[in-house]
Amino acid sequence: MGDFNLNLQTAEEHLDTDDAEGDVVLGVLDGSTPPEEWVETVARGNVLMLAIDGDLNKLASGFARDVKDMDGQLMHFRKFLVVSPPGVKINTDNL
């Protein structure tokens, strides 16, 4: 086996630091939470997983445009609305 120089002391310097930070926030989209609260949660880098309880178009109308304007994404999946912040792609390749 050949000579292999691996310096673990400096390896961390070469790691990507653009990893997404934030939480996955579970909630219910039923109109009881102010739309501004959902926008603020996404703006802080969190992903929303909201169970839909009612008419999705009506319930999401108060914050969907704001999320899209900040380059976030919204995806209706089964009985949930998934909302991601800028830089976090919702991957639908396996659907």
CATH number at residue 32: 3.30.110.150
Strand pairing report for 24-29 and 47-52: parallel
* Entry pTM: 0.78
pLDDT of residue 21: 74
Task: Using 50 as the pLDDT threshold, list the residues of the chain that sit under it.
Answer: none
pLDDT of residue 32: 98
Strand pairing report for 80-84 and 47-52: antiparallel
Q: Is residue 3 in some structural domain? A: no
Domain that holds residue 54: 21-84
pLDDT of residue 10: 67
pLDDT of residue 3: 60
Residues 6 or more apart in contact with residue 44 via CB below 8 angstroms: 22, 85
Overall number of domains in the chain? 1
Half-sphere exposure (Cβ direction) of 36: Cα atoms closer than 13 Å: 0
